[in-house]
Amino acid sequence: MISSAPSRPKRLWAAAIINVLGAALSIVGVAYLLLSSNPNIPESLRPTGFTTLLALGTSGLLIVASALALLRVQFARWLMLAAALVFFGILAYQSLSILVSSGSSLPAAVAPKLWANVVRNTSEIVINAWALLSPKTAAFFSGSRPSQSFKADGSSAA
C-alpha cells in the first residue's frame, strides 16, 4: 500500500508568497537608497552599514526560510515563523515608534499611513502564525517524505 504525504497547504503558499514579496521589496528599497544618485534623497535617509546588513539579513533570511518551508525542511517551519516575527515586527515597531515619539508634531497626512503600516505588518505576522501553526501545516511537516531511491520499474525501493 502506498501512503501519500499530505499536500502542501494553500495557507503555507500564501504566507510564503507574502513573505517573499515583502522581503524582495525591502531588498529593492535598500538597493535603491544605496545606489541612487537622486539628489532629492537626503543623506539622512540613506542606510548605514549596520542598517543595510540588518535589512538585507532579515529579508534574506525570510526568503530562504519561506523557500525551505515550501520544500518541507523540518526546521524551516519554525525558522520561517521566527524570521517573519523579526522582519515584520521591526517594520511595525518602526512605524509605531515614529507615531509615539512624534506625537502631535507629525503632519496630519502621515499618521494614517503609519497606522496602516502597523496594521499591515501585524496582519502579516498573524497570517504567518495562522499558516505555520495550523493543524494542516503540522500534518504537512510531519508527513512522511517519499523515498528518494526508485527501482528501474518505478516502484519504491523499500
Q: 140 in helix, strand or coil?
A: helix
Query: Which has more pLDDT, 103 or 83?
Result: 83
Quick check: 41 pLDDT over 90?
A: no
The answer to whether the CB of 86 falls within 8 A of the CB of 53 is no
Residues 119-137 have a mean pLDDT of 96
Quick check: 107 pLDDT over 90?
A: no
pLDDT at position 36 is: 85
Q: How far apart are CA 114 and CA 72, in angstroms?
A: 35
Q: How far apart are CA 151 and CA 27, in angstroms?
A: 45
Quick check: 150 pLDDT over 60?
A: no
Write out the DSSP string of 81-123: HHHHHHHHHHHHHHHHHHHHHHGGGS-TTHHHHHHHHHHHHHH
Residues 47-57 have a mean pLDDT of 93
- Show me where the domains of the chain are located: 10-142
Rounded percentage of the chain residues whose pLDDT exceeds 70? 87
